[in-house]
Amino acid sequence: MIGAMADIGMPRSLRILWDMEEQPVKRPVQSLTRERIVATAIEIADTDGIAALSMAKLAERLGSATMSLYRHVANKEELLIFMSDAAPGTPPAIDPGGDWRAGLEVWALALREVYLRHPWILVINPGRPPLDPGQLAWADAGLAALSRTGLDGSRRLAAIMAVLNYVRGEAQISAGLAGSAWADEETQQRYGDLMRLLVTRDRFPHLAAASEEGAFAMEEEADGAAFSFGLARMLDGIGHIIDKS
Amino acid sequence: MIGAMADIGMPRSLRILWDMEEQPVKRPVQSLTRERIVATAIEIADTDGIAALSMAKLAERLGSATMSLYRHVANKEELLIFMSDAAPGTPPAIDPGGDWRAGLEVWALALREVYLRHPWILVINPGRPPLDPGQLAWADAGLAALSRTGLDGSRRLAAIMAVLNYVRGEAQISAGLAGSAWADEETQQRYGDLMRLLVTRDRFPHLAAASEEGAFAMEEEADGAAFSFGLARMLDGIGHIIDKS
DNA sequence: GCGGCGCGCGTACGCCGTACCCGAAGCGTG
DNA sequence: CACGCTTCGGGTACGGCGTACGCGCGCCGC
């Protein structure tokens, strides 16, 4: 099977990821392993941001020389692929027999949590469809929630992709703000002030109207509220076609 | 007013952006202008990708020395902010009196087009809420579509943010694939083969079930279809609360 | 005429990813 | 036991990046 993959022209990174699953251990003792490298890289990216992750810094944290890393990863891009396969962990177990909406909501919330804990996943662009074991496991978990809904296969897939896209988009903005200088409360106060200053009725009439109704006061509350609202609308929409099918 | 902004502690980049609007021209002749720099930077990022945009390359394209750019932008990060303000252009004019759903759909499609034309917008993380004139104009256009729906201000804002988040998430994945080696048809064929090879019933039961129903054959068609499906679900969900209000 | 200032530029520095080559240790084979 | 091969960790070196800093030129108001 692995051979077949090579024939098809699977990228090196994916071959390694799937090989790993097939033949679990059987390695000689070695101080530097891919697992350790990837785990440490994730640590750095989580705490200091993806921009602070350099091969030199990573090696220093591992107590090794920079170039030694290249025994285990082909280059930095491959390291990032390994990182984004490992970081999400295992998806929540969704009961295929349970309520589809509750299941999908759990799934979406877990996914958002992953993105908020590892915001750099949203920044590194895979440039290819999800084919690593990690991503497929998450897709499978999402589909589990919809398995008894009567939707056909392509609809089920389209539905979880829609939810995933929404979660991804929201998380990216949310994570971007959380990790910046705009996170603290005082600066958010300033944001409201600036908004009221810049949004005038003649320039942005509809924005001004919403602002006068207190839209931006609302926005200052827990950002989870905005996320839940959008998610609920998406689930409403999915429910709409489930009822009709 | 500009003074007030400075008092509040507005970042330099935003002050420039809004200043520009207030006092239109009145500049001496100068060969290097911020407008020209930003426009050329956008050109490079669009055609060669954001990774290919360096200050040196930009200067070369402009026929100037690298360090001359720093007379007009504080640093590269500020340049990126200027770029993402300018690139989206003016939003489509939405008739506030028209059908809200049609209006929002036009808005979402235009937004997606912006993201596909300038994929780098999705990669650079603003790290702050949208406060530049460009972003606010788009928000205003989106809100126009909902102005007669009976939703209150914060709901209208939450609704367009939900749509924006979805569009953003979808565009990011879609743009990532479009610009990669997986774009051509032959490789997509391989993607289907790999999928069928890796997705086994014991490992990913629900994914396998969807696959057997031809979910991945469907996925190979125009990616616009998947986008429209998710957007329709989101709009269905928004319609659901409009009807109830 | 002249001082100041805005503009474009050149040099230099530290950090980045990584190509390339070397030495040491463990292994099966003669 | 000797030997070569393979595998692993490391060191050096290079080109490219963003940008701090200082210089000279030309235009402007006085």
Q: Domain map of chain B by residue range?
A: 2-86, 100-179+214-244
pLDDT at position A188, please?
A: 74
Whole-angstrom CA distances from B215 to B212, B220, B224 are: 7, 9, 16
Q: Which two tokens stand for residue B55?
A: 């200050």
pLDDT value at residue B137: 97
Nucleotide nearest B54 (Cα, C1'):
D17
The tens place of each residue's pLDDT in chain B, 245 residues long, gives: 444 555 556 778 888 888 666 554 444 556 899 999 999 999 999 999 999 999 999 999 999 999 999 999 999 999 999 999 999 999 999 999 999 999 999 999 999 999 999 999 999 977 778 888 999 999 999 999 999 999 999 999 999 999 999 999 999 999 988 877 777 777 777 777 888 889 999 999 999 999 999 888 755 566 689 999 999 999 999 999 999 87
What CATH architecture does domain B100-179+214-244 belong to?
Orthogonal Bundle (1.10)
Task: Write out the H or E segment, with its range, that includes residue A169.
Answer: helix A153-178
Cβ distance A165 to B147 less than 8 Å, yes or no, reads no
Burial class (CB in 10 A: 0-12, 13-18, 19+), A28: exposed
Shortest CA to C1' contact from A70: nucleotide: C18
- 3-state helix, strand, coil split of chain B in percent (to 5) is 70, 0, 30
Fold type of domain B2-86: Arc Repressor Mutant, subunit A (1.10.10)
- The distance of A32 to chain B (nearest Cα, Å) reads 29
**Confidence (pLDDT) at A75:** 97
Q: What is the mean pLDDT of chain A?
A: 89
- Name the amino acid, one letter, at B89: G
Q: Are A125 and A116 in contact (CB under 8 A)?
A: no
| 8 Å CB contact between B232 and A232 | no
* pLDDT band per the 50, 70, 90 thresholds, residue A217: confident
Residue-level pLDDT at B216: 80
Contacts of A129 in chain B (CB under 8 A): 177, 182, 191
Instruction: Give the protein-side footprint of strand D (Cβ within 7 Å).
Output: A 27-28, 30-32, 64-68, 71-72; B 28, 53-57, 66-67, 70, 75-77
Residue B211 is encoded by which pair of tokens?
A: 């696959």
**Nearest CA-CA distance, residue B199 and chain A, Å:** 8
Supply the pLDDT for residue B121. Answer: 96
Q: Which residue has the higher pLDDT, A22 or A11?
A: A11
Averaged pLDDT for residues A81-92? 97
- Provide the pLDDT for residue B24: 44
Distance C1 C1' – A175 CA (angstroms): 60
